[in-house]
Amino acid sequence: MNPLTKVKLINELNEREADLGIKEAVSWHSEYKDSAWIFVGGFPYELTEGDLICVFSQYGEIVNINLVRDKKTGKSKGFCFVCYEDQRSTILAVDNFNGIKIKGRTIRVDHVKDYRPPKDHEDIDDVTKHLREEGCAPKDSAAVSHSEEPEQYAIPVKKAKKDKKEKKKKKKEKKERKKKSRASSSAESSPRHPPAAIKEEKQDAAYDKYNHQGPTATGPQNGQKATERGGGQEEERWRGRDREEDKRRTSEKGDERRRRDGGDRERETKRNNRDKRKDTDKGDDRKRDDRGRDSNRKDNRKKETDQDKDRRRDTDRGDGRRKEDRRDTDGDNRWRETDRDESRREKERDDGRRRDGDNRRRETDRR
């Protein structure tokens, strides 16, 4: 999972608890009530242990810190583990420091349930050993003697590296010592009940006859058998108790797992519901936008059709006017032509009359 999503999830949990007013005993922080360690990740690589102590000591006294570094180069990897003197300060650190930015980078702060400090290797210098053994918390001035002051401020010197063969020998010796110590501890520690299981014998009817006859040569043997039976019953009782305890433990673990799974399922369902609501809201918005676009398109089409109709009407009106104008002009031209023809005819008649009169006059003159 992306660390930024983890940061968001932790902040959402804190906001929900704050809104609902959940008590500390029921809060999700109560799962880590036995651990005073926190995880810090995502900070810049330039920060050192002192810088981190200055930042995270606002909500409690820091006892120990482990800044994870590269073994070869010695550079920090960008995450560390911090231990507080009081476990309640881890809650304050997780609530207040998770999601803040340091030099432009968001950091993640979370609880650590079962933290195991790193083992001391031979290559580790004295400063880190001293820090891991005694921590970095301030000490009382009365408890510290004057003789120890120069030792504290003395600058430690790194030891020279030993040969590989000596290291291998020491590792082998340590393994052998551990094996011997385990064997001796297993031999010394006596179990509550013997490992061998003794079965109970079935009582036969013939045993009653011997008991009525009185003590015989087989008397001590019967006593031994009775003691063995009593021991077997006690073993069975112890085993029954152990089984009941195991069942209780398993049932408690199952209940815890179910609660955790139920909480995780509820969170997942809530997230899924939120995502579905967001998707539905987005779908509704898209539908609304599509409807608005369709309505706008329809309105634009209607406007265009109305404009086309108006244009056609204007063109039709213009054509009608042009036709009427043409008709008027044609009529005027016809009237003008008829007038011209009549005037020509009258002139021709007048000319013919004049000619006839002239001809008559000439004839009369000749006569």
pLDDT tens across 302-345, in order? 888 888 888 888 888 888 788 888 887 887 888 888 888 888 88
Q: Mutual orientation of helices 88-97 and 49-56 as an angle, nearest 10°?
A: 100
What are the residues whose beta carbons fall under 8 Å from the beta carbon of 218, sequence distance 6 or more? 210
Check pLDDT > 50 for residue 60. Answer: yes
The three-point CA angle 35-134-74 to 5° equals 90
* pLDDT confidence tier of residue 82, bands split at 50, 70 and 90: very high
Within 10 angstroms of residue 49's Cβ, the number of other Cβ atoms is: 18
Torsion sign across C-alpha atoms 352, 353, 358, 361: positive
Least Cα distance to 90 among 129, 121, 63, 50 occurs for 63
pLDDT value at residue 203:
57
Cα 126 → chain centroid: 40
Phi and psi (nearest 5°) for 46? -80, -20
Q: What SS3 class is residue 105? A: strand
pLDDT value at residue 135:
61
The mean pLDDT of 182-206, rounded to a whole number, is: 58
Higher per-residue pLDDT: 245 or 67: 67
Please tell me the distance from the alpha carbon of residue 215 to that of residue 295, in angstroms, as a whole number. 114
What share of the chain has pLDDT > 70, as a percent?
74
Q: What SS3 class is residue 106? A: strand
Q: Which two tokens stand for residue 329?
A: 């002009």
In this predicted model, what pLDDT tens digit does every residue of 113-169 receive, in sequence order?
Answer: 888 877 655 566 676 666 666 666 556 554 444 444 444 444 444 454 556 778 788
Report, in this order, helix, strand and coil percent for the chain, each rounded to 5: 65, 10, 25
* pLDDT confidence tier of residue 217, bands split at 50, 70 and 90: very low
Please tell me the distance from the alpha carbon of residue 355 to that of residue 317, in angstroms, as a whole number. 57
Mean pLDDT, the chain, integer: 77
Check pLDDT > 50 for residue 220. Answer: no
Least Cα distance to 197 among 232, 244, 171, 166 occurs for 232
Structural domains in the chain, CATH included, are: 1-139+148-158 (3.30.70.330)
The mean pLDDT of 197-204, rounded to a whole number, is: 56
Check pLDDT > 60 for residue 202. Answer: no
What are the residues whose beta carbons fall under 8 Å from the beta carbon of 59, sequence distance 6 or more? 89, 92, 93, 96, 97
Cα radius of gyration (the chain): 56
pLDDT value at residue 151:
45
